[in-house]
Amino acid sequence: MSTALDTLFTQLKVENRAALIGYMTAGFPTNEGCVEVIKAMIDGGVDAIEIGFPYSDPVMDGAVIQEASEQALRQGTTAQDVMRTVGAVSALAPTLVMTYWNPIERFGVENFVRELTAHGGSGTITPDLTIEESGPWLQATNDHAANRVYVVAQSTSDARLKQVADASSGFIYAASLMGVTGTRTTISSGAKELVTRLRAVTDKPVAVGLGVSTPEQAKEVAAYADGVIVGSAFIKALQQAPDLATGIAQVRELALKLATAIKEEAISR
């Protein structure tokens, strides 16, 4: 059974362009505000949504996303709030949750996947879950036909890349650099090499994230990847805005610029 995310990548393969995947932390700036922000992202041209599960020890997240996560937690954002956010936007675009393993374990592995799919979610990105520790996760995601997205880095061996790719569904998350999330002035040259190495072991879609923040960077990544993931830049636009309405407008404008750049790259092929 295909998810909305699977259908999206099949469609975009026909169109010969990369997907724009936008990240937003659940509960930021508020639960209701988050939904409005995500709708603006989709309205601006984002193809799929990652909803970040606020967590107190986000080892992969840079300062911008950490700050958003901390604000959401201070405001009392819960696991059910995360699921309600998924439910509020999943009919508009394929929606995933990005979360560390601890919140899933606390929620209950089976319960988490059941709730996610009941709210229309396509799957989950688990940056700190290894395939060796994925037994219950593989079972639950198979039982509920949910995508499971693993993260690979430039340091991942070729043999390991194949193992992770075989266990992944929806897409494989290729980290563009060694480090944490955040905006960067350039994209590491190793990102393209990592995608090339993945292409040698799998035909599943590959999306590149960590550090992509400008239309120029999005266009560069879209030339070799199936998906372009942007997170910190959207959150930064909200954090720097004087009010929510202005922030939402700036998020929509950024999404439009990123989406336009990706479409321009597809036309130039």
Neighbours of 78 (CB within 10 A): 14
Chain-centre distance for alpha carbon 89: 14
Answer yes or no: 61 catalytic.
yes
Answer yes or no: 47 catalytic.
no
**What does the alpha-carbon distance between residue 154 and residue 144 come to, in Å, rounded to a whole number?**
31
Burial environment of residue 80 by CB neighbours within 10 A (0 to 12, 13 to 18, 19 or more): exposed
Judge whether 229 and 209 are in contact, CB under 8 Å: yes
Phi, psi of 237 (to 5 degrees): -60, -40
Q: How far is CA 227 from CA 164, 208, 255, in A?
A: 18, 6, 14
Catalytic residue among 6, 36, 47, 61: 61
Catalytic residue among 36, 47, 50, 81: 50
Judge whether 51 and 96 are in contact, CB under 8 Å: yes
Catalytic residue positions, numbered: 50, 61
